[in-house]
Amino acid sequence: MAQRIVIENAAIATVDAADTEHATGHVVLHGNRIESLGAGPAPEGLADVARRIDATGHLVTPGLVNTHHHYYQWITRGLATDHNLFDWLVALYPTWARIDEPMVRAAAEGSLAMMARGGVTTAMDHHYVFPRGTGDLSAAIIGAARDLGVRFTLARGSMDRGESDGGLPPDFAVESLDGALTATEETVRRHHDPSFDAMTQVAVAPCSPFSVSTELMRQGAELARRLGVRLHTHGSETVEEEKFCHELFGMGPTDYFESTGWLGEDVWMAHCVHMNDSDIAAFARTGTGVAHCPSSNARLAAGIARVPDLLAAGVPVGLGVDGTASNESGELHTELRNALLINRLGAHREAALNARQALRLGTYGGAQVLGRAREIGSLEPGKLADLVLWRMDTLAHASIADPVTALVFGAAAPVTASFVNGRQIVENGRLLTADEDEIARSTRAEARRLAEIAAG
């Protein structure tokens, strides 16, 4: 018999279609679902109540949803700190090409732990570096997410355009066309769960136009649609990428993606910084989603994505941490704040985004982008019990009257509790599912081992 958890006396931001909020309300979890919520105390006479939480001084929101990341980069943080994207990639690919299964497992644990303790309940990883003979890297990443208790999408990436073919990665870091497609299909068949309450899903995700052949893009899209899974890649991240596409393909990134079958409601792209009006219209027309990564875009001097224009056109937009070699903090709350602040430096200035729009990007927008808006991303009866209790009565936030403004504009709020699928995975800012100190030790050791191997 599923038991109930009752949360009371909290401010609630549901992020539903009406942006319903309650200054003081309740949420009832029954098993892995949200059973009810509303203003005031919970209904009386509830049976099988295993726990009651007095959430006075807290804001309850949907769990944060991360839509773009590269976990393996956790063990190469703090390198190439003054580079643009292409120079950064050239500097780091020779090191990344030396990763192995223990490194990837440790890096995944570090990345997931940092996100989970900061309010992320659904995460994804775009992993595209598969050096030969280094173990089952996809299984290592999926195992880390399972053990930490985070809902997860693995975007099984691939690269087949090495240096000798005009790409950026070294030749020994790329797969063959057939090898990439075969391994991707095997990963989907082994690990993808299409069910409503799935904890693990898989997407098909060739890396980028400058590291992937046109044939891998085209056949990758065909494979994803044959298997019924989503598609993900990098798009329109820098002016250098746009120049590359024009020189190599005779067209810009968006037109190239459309020519290879890479626009559609089952597709989401990372970054999308350099898009003109016709690019945005194409995304809106096809329902193609965007993972907005403001901190990484700033770190690599890529530019400011046109998020207000994307939203106005009806393009689904979520937030992404991006790899921690280009966003060393590695957690998503920073992206709520930076999405709002950085976009106000653009053409729309103070009207670009507000606090509630930023929260929506990090919750419901992310669920849309991952194709899971029916299940997660807002607090509504029948949806999965993925939610966060943010403590808002400490020194950092207590003098800000509006809790949503406090959460987005203020310092990173303490997470008192985070639930995924009805299971609590964080308590008072610490993981319940893993030893954070041990993860810190193992990631440091693996980072040192990788550095030594790369130097040799």
pLDDT computed for residue 92 by the predictor: 93
Helix axis angle for 239-249 and 85-96, nearest 10°, is 80
* Backbone torsions φ then ψ of 393, nearest 5 degrees: -110, 15
pLDDT computed for residue 73 by the predictor: 98
Residue written as token pair 């993925």: 386
CA–CA distance from 88 to each of 60, 78, 94, 195 (Å)? 39, 12, 11, 39
Q: How far apart are CA 318 and CA 398, in angstroms?
A: 28
Q: How far apart are CA 95 and CA 406, in angstroms?
A: 40
Per-residue pLDDT tens digits for 209-237: 888 999 999 999 999 999 999 999 999 98
pLDDT-derived band at 244, boundaries 50, 70, 90: confident
Confidence check: pLDDT of 45 > 90: yes
CA–CA distance from 151 to each of 95, 122, 426 (Å)? 29, 4, 14
pLDDT computed for residue 166 by the predictor: 81
pLDDT computed for residue 276 by the predictor: 96
Confidence check: pLDDT of 343 > 90: yes
pLDDT computed for residue 401 by the predictor: 98
The answer to whether the CB of 145 falls within 8 A of the CB of 360 is: no
- What value does the mean pLDDT of the chain take? 96
Confidence check: pLDDT of 103 > 80: yes
User: Above pLDDT 70, what percent of the chain?
Assistant: 100
pLDDT computed for residue 246 by the predictor: 92
Confidence check: pLDDT of 195 > 90: yes
pLDDT computed for residue 75 by the predictor: 98
| Diameter of the chain measured on Cα atoms | 70
pLDDT computed for residue 162 by the predictor: 86
CB proximity list for 368: less than 8 A, separation 6 or greater: 289, 316, 318, 377
Of 32-41, 55-64, 158-167, 262-271, the least confident: 158-167
The answer to whether the CB of 126 falls within 8 A of the CB of 155 is: yes
Q: How many helices (H) and strands (E) does the chain have?
A: 15, 17
pLDDT computed for residue 447 by the predictor: 98
| Residues 192-203, mean pLDDT to the nearest whole number | 98
pLDDT computed for residue 376 by the predictor: 98
Q: List the structure tokens of 196.
A: 């409503």
**DSSP result, 96-154:** HTT--HHHHHHHHHHHHHHHHTTTEEEEEEEE----TTS--HHHHHHHHHHHHT-EEEE
pTM reported for the whole predicted model: 0.97
User: Above pLDDT 90, what percent of the chain?
Assistant: 92
pLDDT computed for residue 380 by the predictor: 98
User: Which residue ranges form the domains of the chain, and what is each CATH number?
Assistant: 4-62+378-429 (2.30.40.10), 64-370 (3.20.20.140)
| Residues 195-207, mean pLDDT to the nearest whole number | 98
pLDDT-derived band at 170, boundaries 50, 70, 90: confident
pLDDT computed for residue 167 by the predictor: 79
Alpha-carbon torsion (445, 446, 449, 451), positive or negative: negative
